[in-house]
Amino acid sequence: MTNLNQSGQTKPAIRSILIALMLAIFLGALDQTIVAVSMPAISAQFKDVSLLAWVISGYMVAMTVAVPIYGKLGDLYGRRRLMLFGMGLFTLASLFCGMARSMEQLVLARIIQGIGAGGMISVSQAIIGDIIPPRERGRYQGYFSSMYAVASVAGPVLGGYMTEYLSWRWVFLINLPLGLGAWLVARRTLVGLPLPQRKPIIDYLGTVLMIIGLTALLLGITFIGQGQHWRDGQVLGLLVTALAALLLFVLHERRTVEPLLPMHLFLNRNALLCWCTIFFTSFQAISLTVLMPLRFQSVTGAGADSAALHLLPLAMGLPMGAYFAGRRTSVTGYYKPLILTGALLMPLAILGMAFTPPQAVLLSSLFMLLGGIAGGLQFPTSLVGTQNSVEQRDIGVATSTTNLFRSLGGAMGVALMSALLLALLRDSSLTHLGGASVLAEGTSGNALLEGLNSAEGPARDALRGELLLTFRYLLLISAAVALLGLAAALAMPNKVLRGREDKAH
């Protein structure tokens, strides 16, 4: 860890900071996945399914919207206080989630929790930009990406165990000791972080416009993913509101003195291409974690526990790719070759998934592992490439913008691929094979599985054969979308990371 002391931190202090940051990222990422398996128990207790989807969606929307705001405020006021605020808000909201007495209270608490998580994830990665030279960041961002992957595996397992043997409330209450511990460690270790020297100027109008625009956009695509048509009055109204608010936001940001999201960053070709890459990587990685278990369950008739094991190679591939990419980037000083390798591997892996039935366990697992590695190669390197492309004063907002594109990619991936799945199902011969009852507006994956399980004998076998073909078409479309990420990677300049440039040759 030589020459890591760019903010005056000692090696032990840097290690302590990294532990606190990795725990914060783990907690924020864990709550995206740990709740899913508890949904039936939550629904049964509150006897309310109308708001059930928003227990997860509300958290995701709030986190995505909060990320760029934390990034800018961290640049203006210093990251330590923003980090402590985000951690504290997340932990307090976890208590409210665990104490909720109605679905409305739970959704509101989850939204507050998402606002806190946005700070934990965004500010953590910006702090790395403060204390670690660009040449070394790949390795540490690789560790952070591993936290996402560990959370994706640990979440369903922990959530299922606590829901089964304790209560669904412990899915949230477990955050209290972990969150408090992380807050105390962060409070002690983040003291020496650099403080900004410029006078803070808050862009209030820009903040309001961005919140309205992003919230309306995410709500609109979430409704589409839940089965509503984009021309539905509610969805169309949200999309028009999003377009108008984001257009006004861009016009305002070009004129204000201290913009929330400086538009000059979007003129930075390298940063823009890194954002495109991470958007499409997240689009694929997150949508695959939703669609592949559904394909496995619907085609094989297996249970949720087997579906979780089926997803394991994808989740294992992410930290493997991230670790390798981080180490390799630190050694060579170049990040484009790793991004390009991952971007090339992703569509090939998805094509392999498309033509391999889930019953072929070894071959299917191999392609899912390659898909995970492809995503892992791109996540940390895209962030490092972005941080390397901007000035130090813009590290926070550039990092938060990277996380914004990552969140938007995941949200859009799940929503659009789910909507496309429903459209393919309605256009297929499934309706003539007995599946019409579950293919109405608003159909969910669970409803599809319930309708499939109600069929018997030859009818069920015919449905499963048709579903396998439908998922193949869906994955072929997904592979085509992945080519857009490959195009961005190909167009990216092959720049060396700042710091110890002599060792890159």
The average pLDDT across 80-98 equals: 90
Query: Are the C-beta atoms of 393 and 129 separated by less than 8 Å?
Result: no
CB 109 within 8 A of CB 96: yes
Whether the per-residue pLDDT at 440 is higher than 50: the answer is no
Task: Give me the half-sphere count of Cα atoms (radius 13 Å) on the Cβ side of residue 293.
Answer: 22
Q: How far apart are CA 38 and CA 16, in angstroms?
A: 33
Contact criterion met (CB below 8 Å) for 227 and 442 = yes
359, 300 contact by CB (below 8 A): yes
The answer to pTM > 0.95 is no
List pLDDT tens digits, range 99-134: 988 888 998 999 899 899 888 877 887 787 777 776
For 324, phi then psi, to 5°, come to -65, -45
Q: What percent of the chain has pLDDT over 70?
A: 80
Q: In which residue ranges of the chain is CATH 1.20.1250.20 found?
A: 1-199, 268-505
Six token digits for residue 113: 């929790």
**CA–CA distance, 302 with 408 (Å, rounded to integer):** 31
pLDDT above 70: residue 141: no
Q: Please answer whether residues 129 and 387 qualify as being in contact, where contact means their C-beta atoms are separated by less than 8 angstroms.
A: yes
Name the residue among 10, 8, 176, 217 with its Cα closest to residue 91: 176
Supply 68's token pair. Answer: 């760029």
Give pLDDT, residue 494.
Answer: 84
Give the end-to-end CA distance of the chain in Å, rounded to a whole number.
20
Per-residue pLDDT at 351 exceeds 90: yes
Q: What is the dihedral of CA 39, 41, 44, 46, to 10 degrees?
A: -70
Q: Are 411 and 224 in contact (CB under 8 A)?
A: no
The secondary element (H helix, E strand) that includes residue 203 is none
The answer to whether 287 and 413 are in contact (CB under 8 A) is: yes
Q: Considering the domain 268-505, what is its CATH architecture? A: Up-down Bundle (1.20)
The fold of 1-199 is: Growth Hormone; Chain: A; (1.20.1250)
Average pLDDT over residues 422-432: 65
pLDDT at 4 over 60: no
What's the pLDDT score for residue 501? 47
Give the separation between CA 81 and CA 69, rounded to whole angstroms: 14
Which range scores top for mean pLDDT: 36-40, 104-108, 201-205, 244-248? Answer: 244-248
Q: Which residues contact 394 (CB under 8 A, 6 or more apart)?
A: 75, 262, 265
By the 8 A CB rule, do 339 and 381 touch? yes
**Which of the pair, 452 or 462, is modelled with greater confidence?**
462
With bands split at pLDDT 50, 70 and 90, how would you rate the model's confidence at 2? very low
Distance (Å, rounded) from C-alpha 151 to C-alpha 447? Answer: 27
Binned at pLDDT 50, 70 and 90, residue 441 comes out as very low
Distance CA 114, CA 38 (A): 18
CA distance 128 to 133: 9
Q: What is the dihedral angle through the alpha carbons of 402, 407, 412, 415, rounded to the nearest 10 degrees?
A: 170
**In the structure encoding, which two tokens stand for residue 360, read together?**
């072929």
Mean pLDDT of 432-454: 49
Q: How far apart are CA 296 and CA 299, in angstroms?
A: 5
Single-letter code of the amino acid located at 435: G
3-state secondary structure of 3: coil
Over residues 256-281, the mean pLDDT reads 87
Evaluate if residue 400 carries a pLDDT over 70.
Answer: yes
Contact 348, 293 (CB under 8 A): no
Can you tell me the mean pLDDT for 400-418? Answer: 81
Render the burial of 196-224: b for 16+ CB within 10 Å, e for the rest. Answer: eeeeeeebeebbebbbbbbbbbbbbbbbb
Helix (H, G, I), strand (E, B) or coil at 496: strand
